[in-house]
Chains A and B, each alone.
Chain A
């Protein structure tokens, strides 16, 4: 039997910067991570080299639940986004730990996307072997 052909991976790779590489390395392993201050415990996103609460530079990575809700969303129609076969739903996700990240909502019809939609993380590969966290609807 011929195996079902997998769709080609064309999504662009994340841009790795010194202070944020851990996030993408975690995504590659299928883990949604955030930066936590090793001294005062505050969560930060986007990651940064110093904690704005206590000014510690000691950071640790913490795995998040992967649950959250849609906080704001769009569908880029024109010009077509690079690395997508159809226009993606781009959303700001409010994670239940209290931080927000930009991502995609997948597995939902465009007209079903709305603020407050309850979502959960999954991962999709990128062209150069990395992965990014995206979110699908979950039962509220």
Chain B
């Protein structure tokens, strides 16, 4: 402990819109509604906000949010590279801003409406995926037919899977357990719709031999927001403060966000390994100190590789760790207890973070008992949340 300055940071409010397949509201409206809900949850007013953070790739902008919420005067803004990998980097940045004193109250959000403006499931041959989107060198994939996030991610995972003998069938229990959590989560797109391993194996191939339909998040709409301030101020607010015990980011040399084919060893996720090393060092904790993990899961293999990177099992052992039922309710390490991006909704990992907050507060629909520390990860960044 003690890696940071005397000021500490806490998540004090969370908010979200309803999640749906398609929404008639603009992304800015979704973001503003989620932000308002998060501020209300905290017992703060928009006038209290003096910092804003979102993803480089988010379609809303800070000026629009200021105009919607009536924010008086921002002292700090930043945007994070990395598409979904930016998710936990937002909490890292918010923590850094608050403990450094450059601002006091940071509003973080992500808004997505894939039915209207863009679709991640639709093949792309240019446009949004060019440099500047914060996503790396996707242009090297387009003319070869790798034109969707599913294809880029699968190409990065296939060597890991072939090396360790992980077949698509091994991904079934992971998809099944996440849908089990989603089935009891009323806000989930797949509320009340659990699946069986057979359902998984009968779902159509999206990218052979890696991903079937039920290994993939779905196109959807919604926004999620949270609010970070100092732990000192948090104690006077409406909710039980959720302390950011530690947060860390890692973007090693030659790592890319999703077209991640150029680093030395594709059987591991070096960005997650680097993040984990920094995170545990800052927190003074080990994997055994974590009771619940919310891991970015646009596609199921990403969960296996993060389980290994964060030290919950050995290299190549994640499929057996999952098969042993450790991710289940009451298991050794419940994972993606809201259903994950695959089961709840794909709000680009922002809902991964708010589920970690709920688990520490003790208000999750699939509440894990005695949560002292929750891990929230988007691989290139992660945070450990704990009771104040």
Contacts and interface: CB of A to CB of B under 8 A. Distances in A.
Interface centre among B123, B143, B147, B207 (most CB of A within 10 A): B143
Contacts of B75: none
A11 B150 CA distance: 20
Contacts of B131: 17
B207 A76 contact: yes
B299 to A, nearest CB: 12
B147 A52 contact: no
Tell me whether chain A's interface is mostly helix, strand or loop, or mixed.
loop
B262 A74 contact: no
Interface string B155-183: 11011001100000000000000000000
B159 A79 contact: no
A110 B123 CA distance: 21
Interface of A: 11-15, 17, 20, 45-46, 52, 71-84, 87-88, 90-92, 100-104, 110, 114-115, 126, 132, 134
A83 B142 CA distance: 10
Interface stretch (B83-91, B133-141, B233-241): B133-141
B121 A90 contact: no
Interface of B: 121-123, 125-126, 130-131, 137, 139-148, 150-151, 154-156, 158-159, 162-163, 204-210, 213, 253, 259, 261-262, 266
Contact of A102 (B141, B158, B207, B253): B141
A53 B202 CA distance: 49
B334 to A, nearest CB: 31
B202 to A, nearest CB: 14
10 contacts: A14-B142, A72-B266, A74-B209, A76-B150, A76-B206, A78-B205, A79-B123, A81-B123, A81-B145, A90-B151
